[in-house]
């Protein structure tokens, strides 16, 4: 994103208020409801500090659950955008840009937050924590990454197919 802006891009192209509220609003609401504010702040402080806290494993679990939640929120935003896209299919083609932007930006915000912000914090906690600790979170499998990737690819292919179909029918009229 920064490279695109440095090459003359406009930062407003990467700001989608609906997608941001879907992803970040859900992340904050559910994250605070599940963990509370104090454990989240303590986990972030522990990741940035080099303290030898005995609670590093529990801080890791908090950040790991927020990481998964961020990825899930991106998928939820993409599904909301898909519903908006499908509801506008019968109308003018100019109404299809906003829902597609919501889909793509929701996935970008979710992946950016989960994998580029929270992921390194989790890795930092594991690096400074004890090596003999049980770092595995419940159901710490990589299946969720595969599932999100497959759903994202299917959504992308579906959008491209529907857009080509719509433009094909508009072009032949």
Q: How many domains does the chain have?
A: 1
In a domain, 3, yes or no: no
CA atoms within 13 A on the CB side of 92: 3
Measured distance CA(69)–CA(95) in Å, rounded: 30
Measured distance CA(6)–CA(59) in Å, rounded: 36
For residue 94, what pLDDT is reported?
73
In a domain, 4, yes or no: no
Q: 67, 122 in Cβ contact below 8 A?
A: yes
Q: How many CB atoms lie within 10 A of CB 26?
A: 18
Measured distance CA(140)–CA(85) in Å, rounded: 34
In a domain, 106, yes or no: yes
In a domain, 38, yes or no: yes
**pTM of the predicted structure, to 2 decimals:** 0.72
Closest CA to 122 of 66, 69, 73, 74: 66
For residue 158, what pLDDT is reported?
75
In a domain, 6, yes or no: no
Closest CA to 48 of 109, 115, 128, 132: 128
Residues of the chain below pLDDT 50:
171-173
In a domain, 123, yes or no: yes
In a domain, 115, yes or no: yes
For residue 173, what pLDDT is reported?
46
Structural domain boundaries, residue 40: 16-171
For residue 138, what pLDDT is reported?
60
pLDDT in tens, 40-73: 999 999 898 866 667 888 889 899 999 999 998 8
In a domain, 39, yes or no: yes
């Amino acid at each position: 994103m920064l490279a695109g802006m440095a090459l003359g891009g406009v930062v407003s192209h990467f700001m989608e208020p609906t997608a941001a509220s879907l992803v970040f609003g859900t992340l904050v609401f559910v994250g605070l409801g599940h963990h509370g504010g104090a454990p989240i702040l303590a986990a972030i402080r522990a990741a940035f500090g080099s303290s030898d806290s005995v609670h590093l494993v529990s801080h890791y679990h908090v950040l790991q659950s927020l990481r998964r939640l961020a990825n899930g929120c991106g998928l939820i935003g993409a599904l909301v955008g898909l519903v908006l896209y499908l509801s506008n299919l019968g109308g003018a083609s100019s109404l299809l840009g906003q829902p597609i932007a919501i889909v793509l930006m929701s996935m970008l915000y979710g992946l950016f937050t989960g994998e580029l912000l929270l992921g390194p914090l989790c890795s930092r906690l594991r690096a400074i924590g004890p090596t003999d600790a049980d770092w595995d979170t419940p159901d710490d499998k990589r299946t969720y990454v595969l599932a999100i990737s497959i759903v994202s690819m299917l959504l992308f292919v579906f959008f491209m197919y529907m857009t080509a179909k719509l433009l094909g029918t508009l072009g032949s009229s």
